[in-house]
Amino acid sequence: MEIVERVYGFNWAALGEQREGLALAMELFTPDFEYQLDPSAFKGRTLEGVPEVQRFLEGIEADFRDFRQRPDRYIAAGEDKVVVLGEFVGRGRASGLPFRSPFGHVWTLREGKLCRLEGYLDHTLALAAAGLEP
């Protein structure tokens, strides 16, 4: 679970922290890493590899002055999955308005590295995706 905990704590809208987070991703992610974005919000879009994740994060930097993931719970789901439940918090770049949104992440590990992330904007959906009861 420690490997998953290391991914959180960055302000993904701040370029310096974004670079630091991406450098960590290069260390922790497999070369074929996939990030499935929330199916309801992103229509089944999956990012493949760190370069696509980086392009996605550049959009976050353009839209937000602050964008953080605050994990509340880490749950082991079998030998190769970890579920993280928490909330996104931040502030819009143009509007300056704050926002909050729940997130549920299902991480899959392979040979000690992170190979897949499934993102959800609903805790119940994330738990179900990992085969857990809410």
State mean pLDDT over 102-107: 98
The alpha carbon of residue 36 and the mean position of all alpha carbons in its chain are separated, in whole angstroms, by 9
State mean pLDDT over 26-53: 92
117, pLDDT greater than 90: yes
Supply the pLDDT for residue 48.
Answer: 95
83, pLDDT greater than 90: yes
Supply the pLDDT for residue 90.
Answer: 94
Which residue(s) pair with 106 in the sheet?
Answer: 83, 118
Report the distance separating Cα 91 and Cα 95, nearest Å. Answer: 8
Per-domain boundaries in the chain: 2-129
52-61, 84-93, 94-103, 109-118: least confident range = 52-61
The alpha carbon of residue 92 and the mean position of all alpha carbons in its chain are separated, in whole angstroms, by 19
Which residue(s) pair with 48 in the sheet?
Answer: 34
120, pLDDT greater than 90: yes
Range 104-131 burial, b when 16+ CB lie within 10 A, else e: bbbbbbeeeebbbbbbbbbbebbbebbe
| Higher-confidence position of 84 and 43 | 84
Return the CATH number of the domain spanning residue range 2-129: 3.10.450.50
The per-residue pLDDT of the chain, averaged, comes to 92
